[in-house]
Amino acid sequence: MIPNIFRTRSVSFGHQFVVLAFLVSGLSSCITTRVITEPDCDTPANVTYTSQVTTAYFWGLRQPLDIKPPCDPRFNHLNGVTVKSTFGHYVLTTITLGIVNKRRVQWCCAPYVPPTDSI
C-alpha cells in the first residue's frame, strides 16, 4: 500500500490553462523602442511623458490616426518617443491573426527655451 503523500494527482488541462493564463497575465514583459534627443525627457523639470495606445487594423491596411502632440507652439519639438509592445498586444495580434495590432506610444515635448540676445 502506497501512503497518500506519495500518490500523484493528475491535473486536468483546464487547471493547467488557468495557471498558465495567470502566469502570462502577471508577466509585464514588453518590447520597447526609444528615440531620444538631448536633453532626455526625464531630466528637465516639468517635462512628462504623454501616452496613447494606437491600433492598426487589417494587417496595416487601416492605419491608426496620426498623433498630434500638444507641444508649446513657440518651440514645437519632441524630446523623445517610446513605442512599446506588451505581451498582451502580441497575444491579441496572434489570436486575431494580425487583424488587430496595438502599440503604446509615449512622447514628451521639448521644453521651451527662450532665445537669448547677445550683449
pLDDT digits (tens, 9 = 90+) for 82-100: 888 888 888 888 888 888 8
| Cβ–Cβ < 8 Å for 55, 93 | no
The three cell numbers locating residue 30: 514588453
* Distance in angstroms (rounded) separating the CA atoms of residues 112 and 92: 39
Give this prediction's pTM.
0.58
* Distance in angstroms (rounded) separating the CA atoms of residues 27 and 46: 31
Instruction: Please say if the pLDDT value at position 28 is more than 60.
Output: no
pLDDT value for 22: 59
pLDDT digits (tens, 9 = 90+) for 47-75: 677 788 888 888 878 888 888 887 777 77
Domain spans of the chain, in order of start? 29-109
* Distance in angstroms (rounded) separating the CA atoms of residues 35 and 53: 17
pLDDT value for 12: 64
* Distance in angstroms (rounded) separating the CA atoms of residues 63 and 116: 42
